[in-house]
Amino acid sequence: MLKDAYTADVTPERDGEEVRLAGWVHEVRDLGGIKFVLLRDRTGIVQLTLPRQKVPKETFEKVPKLTKESVIRVEGIVQANKKAPRGVEIIPRRIEVLSKSNTHLPLDPTGKVDADLDTRLDARVLDLRREEPQAIFKIRNVVTSAIREFLEELGFIEVHTPKIIASATEGGTELFPVVYFERDAYLAQSPQLYKQMLMAAGFERVYEIGPIFRAEEHNTRRHLNEAISVDIEMSFIESEEDVMRVLEKLLAHIFRKVREECERELKVLNQELPELEVPFERITYEEALNLLSDHGIEVEWGEDLPTEAERKLGEIFEEPFFITEWPKEIRPFYTMAKDDEVTTAFDLMYKGLELASGAQREHRYDMLVRQIEEQGLNPADFKYYLESFKYGMPPHGGWGLGLERTLMTITDAENIREVTLFPRDRKRLHP
Ligand code: ATP
Ligand code: MG
């Protein structure tokens, strides 16, 4: 390895020790007889101090030629110094330039110069060098690890279902067509039908963390055309309550893990995460409409909640909560109905965002075919899916949780693109 420590490992207690560090030139300060370089790596920043008398001439003379954001390697001695940032500095013996950066930077990674989101996303690689995105993606990793840990503890196994599919999951809108040899194919909007088929296959508990593709036409702060969905499906449930309980406990677990493991990152983002108390509150769709009406927002029964209604509910409820018993007409055909009007479907809401949707599924073949027809779809288009309901399908249910939406609530990001490495939206296919 070209280095044996990160900048964060350099502490005053290591005074006198020799270290080899490598990273990016964050800043250069040349005061003539003494020169400073701030060296940045993924753990933070350390100061290199070069007094003319104390470092080799060749090393000293290299500093004025260092360009910002060049990649360098440093060998030197740790020196405790109360006046240095973090009380410690490096007196370099040797500085080697591994990769010189162009002097014209499309974006200032030190974050001192403000840039709008579009400029930042265009120069995303430089943008990601900043402390805040680094913190966000560290948290994102802790979140996915926490999800795997939690679900596997409950006996779920991770699966990967196809992302190139022959027919729409829930009707034809929002689908991206794909050129697939001599046939029509699409990018999967969700793993829904496949995870249900795995219930017929006897897996009982599966989860998938994978991409979903939606041809959302409009740019909003909470929609991407390619997002990551955390999906579960679970057999032998008594009602949707069984899967709601998994979901609320998972979210509480995620928050706990991030609090425990990302103290530094939360500080960088200026965030304090609350302890989420389970069970979350549950209100029915009808109760939600009444509540909204009390606050001056009228939503007609049978309509999806408009953005402003979601936002208003986010003001009323400080904690995450469920909206249950959604009307039949705005839920997909595979949802189990409760009666002629409402279903077992639920949404998990938090901070004015829909984080997840789920339900108990219809596992009875005849009912399922009827519901497909009622929604104006053709059962023949679902031949292989329907086939799996004929030979013993347990009662089951599940949900899909948006990974980016979850991260928005944790990091308080205003825009979903902030928590996505290289976001895809209507206007953005690069980088
Ligand atoms: P919305 O009403 O907010 O557009 P949806 O009801 O169409 O979402 P679902 O089909 O219920 O979405 O998908 C499950 C979850 O996946 C959503 O609750 C959300 O967290 C996430 N999700 C869905 N579509 C997107 C998207 N285009 N971008 C980011 N996340 C999404
Ligand atoms: Mg939904």
Q: Which domains does the chain carry? A: 7-99 (2.40.50.140), 127-419 (3.30.930.10)
Q: Residue 387 C-alpha to ligand 2 middle, in angstroms? A: 26
424 lines ligand 1 (CB under 6 A): no
pLDDT in tens, 20-50: 999 999 999 999 999 999 999 999 999 999 9
- Alpha carbon distance 30, 118 (integer Å): 34
403 lines ligand 1 (CB under 6 A): no
- What are the backbone angles phi and psi of residue 388, rounded to the nearest 5°? -70, -10
What average pLDDT does range 405-409 have in this prediction? 98
419 lines ligand 1 (CB under 6 A): no
What average pLDDT does range 278-295 have in this prediction? 98
Enter the tokens of residue 189. Answer: 């909007």
Query: Residue 169: is its pLDDT beyond 60?
Result: no
Enter the tokens of residue 275. Answer: 């302890």
420 lines ligand 1 (CB under 6 A): no
pLDDT in tens, 123-163: 999 999 999 999 999 999 999 999 999 999 999 999 999 99
130 lines ligand 1 (CB under 6 A): no
Residue whose Cα lies nearest atom 16 of ligand 1: it is 402
Query: Which of 169, 173, 192, 212 for mutating ligand 1's site (highest number of atoms within 8 Å of CB)?
Result: 212
End-to-end CA distance of the chain: 30
Ligand closest in space to the Cα of 214:
1
Query: Residue 343: is its pLDDT beyond 80?
Result: yes
Give residue 405's pLDDT: 98
The atom of ligand 1 lying closest to the CA of 229 is 16
Confidence of residue 114 (pLDDT cuts 50, 70, 90): confident
In this prediction the pTM is: 0.96
Average pLDDT, the chain: 96
List, in order, residues 6 or more apart from 415 with CB less than 8 Å away: 117, 221
Residue whose Cα lies nearest atom 14 of ligand 1: it is 400
Report the SS3 class of residue 232: strand
Is the distance from CB of 283 to CB of 291 less than 8 angstroms?
yes
pLDDT in tens, 356-402: 999 999 999 999 999 999 999 999 989 999 999 999 999 999 999 99
Confidence of residue 218 (pLDDT cuts 50, 70, 90): confident
- Alpha carbon distance 419, 140 (integer Å): 8
Residue whose Cα lies nearest atom 27 of ligand 1: it is 223
Burial of 185 (0-12, 13-18, 19+ CB in 10 A): middle
The atom of ligand 1 lying closest to the CA of 355 is 20
What average pLDDT does range 295-301 have in this prediction? 97
- Alpha carbon distance 70, 100 (integer Å): 5
Give residue 171's pLDDT: 63
Helix, strand, coil percentages in the chain from 3-state DSSP, rounded to 5: 35, 30, 40
Amino acid at residue number 209: I
Q: Residue 351 C-alpha to ligand 2 middle, in angstroms? A: 15
Enter the tokens of residue 332. Answer: 């997909």
What average pLDDT does range 59-69 have in this prediction? 97
Helix axes 403-411, 240-261, angle to 10 degrees: 50
- What are the backbone angles phi and psi of residue 243, rounded to the nearest 5°? -85, -25
Q: Residue 53 C-alpha to ligand 2 middle, in angstroms? A: 66
What average pLDDT does range 90-111 have in this prediction? 94
- Alpha carbon distance 90, 36 (integer Å): 10
Q: Residue 171 C-alpha to ligand 2 middle, in angstroms? A: 14
Enter the tokens of residue 184. Answer: 């029509």
Enter the tokens of residue 380. Answer: 């023949």
The atom of ligand 1 lying closest to the CA of 189 is 10
Interior CA angle at 384 toward 379 and 390, to 5°?
Answer: 85
